[in-house]
Amino acid sequence: MSTNCSPYVERISLGVRNKLIIALLFDTGLRASELCSVDVETDLDLAQSTIHVRHGKGDKPRVVPFGASTGKMLRKYIAVRGELDTDRLIVSQFGSPVDRDVLREIIVRIGKRAGIQVTTHQLRHSCAVALIKAGCDVFTVQRLLGHSTLVMTRRYSNLADVDVMDRHRQFSPSDRLGNLKNVGRKKIR
């Protein structure tokens, strides 16, 4: 996309961009500032499905993977984005880099349109909890999110534990015994 394209093309690219922003924040757990710093040429590896975060919190670098569906969105966005004067991944409709404050405004606006209240950091939290619920170990989550200790990661684990408790209450084997007494019983000889 050039900066001189029609408003119709700009609207399409902003829609694609906004979906990508949500997908990246949720799929990778990147911080707002980390996402805004992603450079298409040096930080993004579509073949390996990874993003190189050069300056995470505490100036610590890390490599963060993303899923296949996010990869498809990235390819589509990069095609729509086209050649620009900046190598930053996330850009405005005019082709200038988006900073973390603007990114936060974009997320809040998207949430309002959807009728929910959401922030960039809530998407990061959601990523961590979703990973843990899916069975990812806390050490991997710690590394993916760039935490220096397990203290913060344990908080996400505790949030996921609430769901575990609710699920157990719902599917408790002993509580369900009464419901299962005569279902599919076979005599053992």
Q: Decide if 147 is catalytic.
A: yes
| Catalytic member of 17, 81, 88, 124 | 124
Q: Which of 79, 95, 96 is nearest to 3 (CA)?
A: 95
| Catalytic member of 121, 155, 167, 168 | 121
Q: Which of 101, 74, 97 is nearest to 3 (CA)?
A: 97
Q: Decide if 77 is catalytic.
A: no
Q: Decide if 57 is catalytic.
A: yes
| Catalytic member of 31, 77, 81, 88 | 31
| Catalytic member of 17, 77, 81, 156 | 156
The answer to whether 77 and 16 are in contact (CB under 8 A) is yes
Strand 44-45, strand 62-65: pairing: unpaired
Q: Decide if 176 is catalytic.
A: no
| Catalytic member of 19, 52, 57, 125 | 57
Q: Decide if 52 is catalytic.
A: no
The answer to whether 1 and 81 are in contact (CB under 8 A) is yes
For residue 182, with 0-12 CB atoms within 10 Å meaning exposed, 13-18 middle and 19 or more buried, which class applies? exposed
Residue numbers annotated as active site? 31, 57, 121, 124, 147, 156
